[in-house]
Amino acid sequence: MIQKSLACSFTGHRIIAKKFRDTLPGQLERQIRRLIEKGTVDFITGGALGFDTLAAQIVLKLREEFPQIRLVLALPCKDQTRGWSSIDKARYEQIIQAADVVHYTGTRYTMDCMMRRNRFMVDNSAACVFFLTNQRSGTYKTVAYAMEQGLQLYNILTVK
């Protein structure tokens, strides 16, 4: 069971531009540590390539130091990895195996499965950490929904 007041979701782009690749992991780890210090226990990510995968990997790394935290995967469908490379599929399977909770919002890919997944994450969180560089994206829509729902928002690009 996810306790909304102690949960944080992540949303971000699948493709991380080269100029962010060196600094983004450190910024994200610092923000997750701050949230843990404030009592956040559940960290919800959508299992996509890019930012979601990075967030999951950092949460799993920090779980060794902070055993009270949990990685919650909110996955849009069971066939999310169709079209992915074998390396990306293997990494995805490792994350699923290590996750504390795996929740599917659907069984098959549909036109709205990503939106349903994103809303599930927001609806079950008090905070949202985001990586947003393009306002024409699902990430932008998720951040806008999180803002409408009153979540505490953390723009990872401004984390020092």
Parent domain of 58: 4-158
Burial of residue 65 (CB within 10 Å: 0-12, 13-18, 19+) is exposed
In terms of pTM, does the model score above 0.85? Answer: yes
Domain count along the chain: 1
Q: Three-class SS of residue 70?
A: strand
The pLDDT tens digits for 20-74 are 999 999 999 999 999 999 999 999 999 999 999 999 999 999 999 999 999 999 9
Question: Is 97 a residue whose pLDDT tops 90?
Answer: yes
Q: Which two tokens stand for residue 154?
A: 């953390």
Burial letters 119-156, b for 16+ CB under 10 A, else e: bbbbebbbbbbbbbeeeeebbbbbbebbeeeebeebeb
The pLDDT value given to residue 134: 85
Residues written for the chain: 160
* Residue 54's CATH number: 3.40.50.450
Chain centre distance of CA 100 = 14
Summarised one tens digit per residue, pLDDT across range 100-152 is: 999 999 999 999 999 999 999 999 999 999 999 988 889 999 999 999 999 99
Q: How confident is the model at residue 99 (pLDDT cuts 50, 70, 90)?
A: very high
